[in-house]
Amino acid sequence: MIDLKNLTIEKAHADMKSGVYTPTVLANACLEVIKQKNAEINAYVEVYPDVLEQAKTAEEMFANGTATMMTGIPISLKDNMLRDEYTASASSKILENYTATYSAGIVSQLKGAGVVFMGRTNMDEFAMGSSTETSAFGNTKNPLDTTCVPGGSSGGAVSSVAMDGALCALGSDTGGSIRQPAAFTNLVGLKPTYGAVSRYGIISMGSSLDQVGPIAKNVSDCEILFNAINAYDKNDGTSVPVENRIKPSPLKKKIGVPREFLKGDGIDPVVLGNFDQACEKLKNAGYELVDVSLPLLKYSLPVYYILMPAEVSSNLARYDGIRYGESHAGGKLFDTYAKTRGQGFGKEVRRRIILGTYILSHGYYDAYYNSAVKIRSAIKNELQNAFKDVDAIITPTTPTLPFKFGAKSKDPVSMYLLDIFLAPANIAGVPAISVPSGSSNGLPLGLHIMAPFHREDILFTIGKDFEKLV
Ligand code: GLN
């Protein structure tokens, strides 16, 4: 019996290399867990029918000496990542029967490395949400406490790992969707620098904010998976050529704490207490902690909720009942559009399309969209200035602990506020990671660390130092 609960990528690789078990045995162990738990947890919306065929290919790679760190590793794909000839639906009815005609850049890269894609995971519809409650395919439960949400939008992704149905997962993060669910399930989640990982073949939400990233059990595994997808892709116009990326340099071992940003309403005192303890632990690990004043950071969330819906309204215009997926024919062409979109999209998606269309409409464009663009660049500058003095900036990952189903879904603004600490990294394009920081009454908490552009190495170094102390 493989001890999946404690199995890391590193350990599985060593085991498979030395022949303790084969990729097929490992894949079967995960399939067995999925069979037992998925009916309740609903992490996967589909288990791929070719899991064992992929494991066979991995086995051949071990046999012929071409295996790498990710070969034979069971991984889940979020339902917004295209895999050639398989369905990808963004957990929306409108794409329920859509079959991808090509593979995403990251899918091709990982296929080359010989991973075993287990299946596609449930998510908030088109990645809009923080609890996976907006999926057209039902809620995903938090494996740590099935009365609680797993976070979102990558709720299925984190639950696939937390229930041991995969060793790691890929999620996407537009305003926190990797980091927040990772914190809610005691996992590590990284949003890489904008442009570090290919977005080619990822169903877009907000194109200037979206990034794909790894979810894993510890920081080392997160780094291994990041290294496997951290590459230039000529098919993605925003992919940054490797030679243009900032190279690692020694750390100052100095971390900034934006104290005034932690004073907002709605931040659970338990979260603040845990954060203070995390600060003490980092000091004990030899880091100097300094207060940094970042007065613009609090505008990141309002800016996000202007820019993101604007980009959503434009990106989702393509689902018109003609080009992709579901179609409900009406009398005239316009009726086909209206019927298809009215019936195919869920409520939250329609809310954001309407909001975005309003924001971009003549007469309001300057007041909303253009103002938000200006504040976005001011936030970026403010962060870049702060990083001249400190290696990283830390906050809690989320203002609350994992919550019960239905607790926030009736009040969208309370749901939106969950991303208060997470949106700045997407707005500025810098990398950020969530690392488990302990628990309260059995529910997990996370520490959020932000670093300058292309300095994921800083996040891994601090993350590993911190992990040892929790
Ligand atoms: N919770 C945020 C939202 O609903 C973030 C979503 C995401 O990162 N995909 O927009």
pLDDT at 324: 85
Query: In 3D, which of 320, 277, 287 has the Cα closest to residue 95?
Result: 320
* Catalytic residue selected from 130, 135, 154, 177: 177
Q: Which two tokens stand for residue 194?
A: 């904008």
* pLDDT of the residue at 377: 98
Candidate of 308, 352, 403, 417 to mutate for ligand 1, largest count of ligand atoms within 8 Å of Cβ: 308
Summary mean pLDDT of the chain: 97
**DSSP bridge pairs for 215:** 169, 189
Supply the CATH classification number for the domain 4-244: 3.90.1300.10
| pLDDT surpasses 80 at 265 | no
Instruction: Give the pair of three-digit tokens for residue 382.
Output: 């403010």
Tell whether ligand 1 has an atom less than 6 A from the beta carbon of residue 130: yes
How many angstroms separate the alpha carbon of residue 250 from the centre of ligand 1?
Answer: 33
Residues contacting 58, CB < 8 A, separation 6+: 16, 23, 67, 71, 72, 114, 115, 116
Q: Please give the Cα distance from 467 to 461 (Å, whole number).
A: 10
pLDDT bin (cut points 50, 70, 90) of residue 349 is very high
CA distances from 277 to 188, 232, 466 (A): 19, 39, 11
Rounded to whole angstroms, how far apart are CA atoms 447 and 395? Answer: 6
pTM recorded for the entire structure: 0.98
d(CA 290, CA 302): 27
* CA of 134 relative to ligand 1 center, distance in Å: 11
How far is it, in rounded angstroms, from Cα 193 to Cα 431?
4
User: Which pLDDT score, from 0 to 100, does residue 263 have?
Assistant: 87
Report whether residue 296 contacts ligand 1, using a CB cutoff of 6 Å. no
Q: Per the structure block, which two tokens stand in for 432?
A: 């950020």
69: Cα within 13 Å, side-chain hemisphere: 14
Nearest to 227 by CA among 81, 68, 80: 68
* Beta-carbon contacts of residue 407 (< 8 Å; ≥ 6 apart): 149
Q: 409 CB under 6 A from ligand 1?
A: no
Q: Over pLDDT 70: what percentage of the chain?
A: 100
3-state secondary structure of 318: helix
Does the annotation count 5 as an active-site position? no
Going by alpha carbons, the residue nearest to atom 10 of ligand 1 is 128
With a 6 Å cutoff on the Cβ, whether 173 touches ligand 1 is: yes
pLDDT the model gives residue 352: 98
Give per-residue pLDDT as tens, 311-329.
Answer: 999 999 999 999 888 899 9
Q: Is 153 a catalytic residue?
A: yes
User: How high is the pLDDT of residue 73?
Assistant: 99
User: Catalytic: 160?
Assistant: no
Confidence label for 241 from pLDDT (cuts 50, 70 and 90): very high
